[in-house]
Chain A
Amino acid sequence: MKKKSKLKFQIISIISLIAFFAIWQLLTDVYRVIPSTMLPSPVKVLQTIGMKWSVKKPDGSTLPQHILASLQVSGLGFCLGAVIGVPLGVIMAWWEKADLSLKPVFDFVRTIPPIAWIPIMIVLLGIGVVAKASIVFLSAFIPCVINSYTGIKATKTVHIWVAQTFGGSKTRTLFKVAIPTALPYIFTGLKVSLNSSWGALVAAEMLGSASGLGYMIQMGRLLSRADLIVVGMIVIGIIGTILSAFLDSLEKIVVKGEVR
């Protein structure tokens, strides 16, 4: 695309963003078309973010505490997902018996959304960070399993043949050849899994929590405070974007020569 037209489109994008916020502001504060109980104006949202940064009222923790609690829950869930999911995927792909026996169970468990597990998790694991992390784990471990499974399966049979001709045992081949080749797939799996573990955060915090962004949104609902709700949503959105941007750049560095 020629230089001139690329610039033109960038300008349009900026204008459309500004228009989005301007319309939002006009509809709420200026012309009062939408009552503030239904949708707070961008200015009100910014005020609330400012206020919530240091004030605990009315939902019991400041914004940084909420963010920390949420990162803790989805972080722990993600680690569980990766630590259990990746080896599970590798085992299922490498040993035929494991694949045959584990795959149907995995496919069935996969269809039950994490939120449906909440009532059971309360009884099994209580309401601590571990219970919440288990809800995140349920949505985080699936991409890990799938991608490491595809990664190992995609390992060219020639690689295995080459390793075996040089006398490598099955397991040695697995670690020397199959896993290194599957690394790019495994990394994509981790990337997807981190995104979905951040997404599952809201569900996890429905389990019963005292702080966290999902909890803040719930409190916004209980106290009919639309500004708390919107602030919670926006902060979740921003952190989600930062996470995936960070992962994309990490992927570019780590997985240089990968086959895409």
Chain B
Amino acid sequence: MKKKAAAVLMAAITAAAASLGTVTALAAEEEPVTIRVATLAQQLSLPMYYISEQGWDVENGFKLEITTFSQGTGINEALGSGLVDVCTIGAAGVNSCCIYDAVYLFSHEDSAAGQQVMVRNDSPIAQEKGYLEDYPELLGSPETIKDATILLPMGTGSQINVDTYLDRFGLTEDDVTLVNMDTAPAYQAFVSGEGDMAHTCYPTADEYDPEQYTVAFSMNTVGLPYYDNIIASRSFFEDEKNHDALVALCVQLLRTAETFKDDTVLMDTMMAWYELNGQTVDRDKIEHQVLERPFFTYEDLSSIDATASFKIMAEFYATIGNITEEDLEHVFANMDDTIISEALSVYAETYL
């Protein structure tokens, strides 16, 4: 045991020293273009995971290196520090587009389901339902929501979710106290009696005991379209030799979305992902979580304007002051559609 442990330590030191000092030279030309991908955990990383498992990436001239993150803000930092080329990210992607000049390619999944805020059954907010006619599902009223303490991971889609909810009741962030906590710690704090409302998402959402907690609102009930997006770093996007690899990646994502229409394939992949990450999960329990968040196929992207959600989020960030007006212009300027349109036509020729 001792020798192995020492070997690990030595390896760690040499690896660290190497990364500290030398800049690793790019792989030789004819090898597939390596794309370093950052994805959010669980369901959102499935397409990338599936592509590399099936070997579809090497077949089409690119190689995926996947790292998973718990929050979009972590991915922002990865993009900012040039450790990542492409990422799947939610609302936090707006920051990357305006501050790190990243490029929005397209939205690949409707991930609104599960993005909800829980409230205790016995709390005053839970007693009032249907206060607003056009949003019958929403719980609470301006009086009960005012001065509430809400636990949520700030700077992500959940903040927009909460702000939209407040906006429906004519309130703003200044009327409540927003406490910045990651989803899991938020659950533990809320469950031990802290705060009045706690934002959550799958899989933590299912941990809440239905007898004690109900959904005050979710992205669907608040009417906020929330899609996850594929975003590329500016340097990677502008490098001509990566163009084909990017198109190929988008094509494979569309192909995976198509195969994921078959529920059993989708669920098997999900279970395989959990296995790989050393987490034991009950298949039936998580089935609804996975199926409620469909991936956009070729037909979906041809019929609806998938960029709507990203634009709404960017405008929202501007209104609450997270980004300035000219940042907003910057975001819109960075929304590219050339790659996805090329990918759609390539997909049509090969797979239809």
Contacts and interface: CB of A to CB of B under 8 A. Distances in A.
Q: Do A and B contact each other directly (Cβ–Cβ < 8 Å)?
A: yes
B284 to A, nearest CB: 29
A122 B183 CA distance: 13
A210 interface: yes
Interface string B65-82: 000000001001100100
Given A60-B173, A210-B180, A224 B151 contact: no
Interface of A: 37, 56-58, 60, 119, 122-124, 126-128, 208-210, 215, 218-219, 221-224
A208 B179 CA distance: 6
Interface string B189-202: 10011110000000
Contacts of A127: 151, 179, 181, 189, 194-195
B114 to A, nearest CB: 21
Name the residue among A37, A123, A124, A215 with the largest chain B CB count within 10 angstroms: A123
A57 B185 CA distance: 25
B180 A209 contact: yes
Nearest to B195: A127
Given A58-B321, A122-B188, A224 B76 contact: yes
Chain A to chain B: the 4 pairs with minimum beta-carbon distance, closest first: A57-B321, A222-B155, A126-B194, A208-B181
26 contacts: A57-B322, A58-B321, A60-B174, A122-B185, A122-B188, A122-B189, A123-B189, A126-B192, A126-B193, A126-B194, A127-B189, A128-B194, A208-B186, A209-B179, A210-B178, A210-B179, A215-B180, A218-B180, A221-B73, A221-B77, A222-B76, A222-B156, A224-B80, A224-B95, A224-B96, A224-B100
A127 B179 CA distance: 9
Contacts of B194: 122, 126-128
B155 A37 contact: no
B18 interface: no
A128 B196 CA distance: 13
B192 A37 contact: no
Interface of B: 73, 76-77, 80, 95-96, 99-100, 149, 151, 154-156, 173-174, 177-181, 185-186, 188-189, 192-195, 320-322
Given A123-B192, A126-B193, A224-B76, A60 B178 contact: yes
Given A222-B180, A224-B95, A208 B151 contact: yes
Given A209-B179, A215-B180, A56 B77 contact: no
A223 B322 contact: yes
Main secondary structure of the interface of B (DSSP, over half): mixed
A222 B99 contact: no
Given A126-B194, A208-B185, A222 B73 contact: yes
Name the residue among A57, A60, A119, A123 with the largest chain B CB count within 10 angstroms: A60
A206 to B, nearest CB: 9
Given A37-B100, A210-B177, A58 B192 contact: no
Name the residue among A57, A128, A210, A222 with the largest chain B CB count within 10 angstroms: A222
A219 B173 CA distance: 15
A246 B151 CA distance: 37
A63 to B, nearest CB: 15
Contact of B95 (A57, A124, A223): A223
B304 to A, nearest CB: 30
A56 B322 CA distance: 11
Contacts of B100: 37, 224
A167 to B, nearest CB: 54
B192 A122 contact: yes
A124 B149 CA distance: 18
A258 B151 CA distance: 50
A49 B96 CA distance: 24
A157 to B, nearest CB: 48
Contact of A222 (B154, B174, B193): B154
B165 to A, nearest CB: 17
A199 to B, nearest CB: 21
